[in-house]
Chain A
């Protein structure tokens, strides 16, 4: 397991954040925007897991993995709420195009 260096992992997580940002900025479909946010959040979880594996002390590593577990739970909740908004938007407007969701009232 030696040889996994931080340049590769930072490159991967930075690339995933960039892909997620790109998706949020360019896609108009609400489900695609949600997926792009998920990609970016997974990059954050990956960073927690990577730096936990190379933490200087065991307690620091376990703290990092605990943060990753809690973050996965938050991300799952976010998807549930996001899809509820998708369904409500679809019912109110008949479309899930984010460009047409111009008012907060659903």
Chain B
């Protein structure tokens, strides 16, 4: 077992455990701390896969911006932020559905072609040349969707709207 395999196994276990912990702990603020650990853990997996730009993006966008946004949302919407309310019991049907989904997704592994090649790493400059070159329209679409999303968000939360 190589060092990378051990590192990946550790990171994978931590990822699943933190995701489950985030959804099951009682305090909402603790949930957000767990999900921050989850995002950082995924960033480490991206670094392990030789994708440094994606790793930095994950750290900046998810561990940075999304975590702070979620914290902000919790602080604004709850009078006592250390309380959950609305927690429900865990029935058998959601667990069965989740397990079924997992089995269905992992069952596809036999259909994959065998990738025997070593993982390749791409420099951020090569990635940006592709992203803004042949995939420029997608970046443009992303910008338009972000603009519409921000406008819609401002419309939803502005003062005096009834």
Question: What are the residues of chain A within 8 A of B66 when measuring CB–CB?
Answer: 38, 75-76, 79
Q: Which residue of B lies closest to A84 (CB)?
A: B153
Taking the nearest CB of chain A, how far is it from the CB of B54, in angstroms? 5
Q: Which residue of B lies closest to A33 (CB)?
A: B23
Q: B74 within 8 Å of A by Cβ?
A: yes
Taking the nearest CB of chain B, how far is it from the CB of A22, in angstroms? 4
Q: B122 within 8 Å of A by Cβ?
A: yes
B53 pairs with A65, CB closer than 8 A: yes
B87 pairs with A31, CB closer than 8 A: no
Most buried by B among A3, A39, A95: A39
CA distance A59 to B97 in the complex (A): 37
* Secondary structure call for the B interface: helix
B69 pairs with A66, CB closer than 8 A: no
What is the size, in residues, of chain A's interface with B at 8 Å between Cβ atoms?
Answer: 77
B118 pairs with A39, CB closer than 8 A: no
B150 pairs with A49, CB closer than 8 A: no
- 8 A-B pairs whose Cβ atoms sit less than 8 Å apart in the complex: A2-B4, A4-B119, A22-B95, A27-B88, A31-B74, A42-B62, A53-B49, A72-B62
Residues of B within 8 A of A (CB): 1-2, 4-5, 8-9, 12, 15-16, 19-20, 22-23, 28, 31-32, 35, 38-39, 42, 45-46, 48-51, 53-54, 57-58, 61-62, 65-66, 69-70, 72-74, 76-77, 84-88, 90-91, 93-95, 97-99, 101-102, 105-106, 108-109, 112, 115, 117-122, 126-127, 130-131, 134-135, 138-139, 142, 145-146, 149-150, 152-154, 156-157
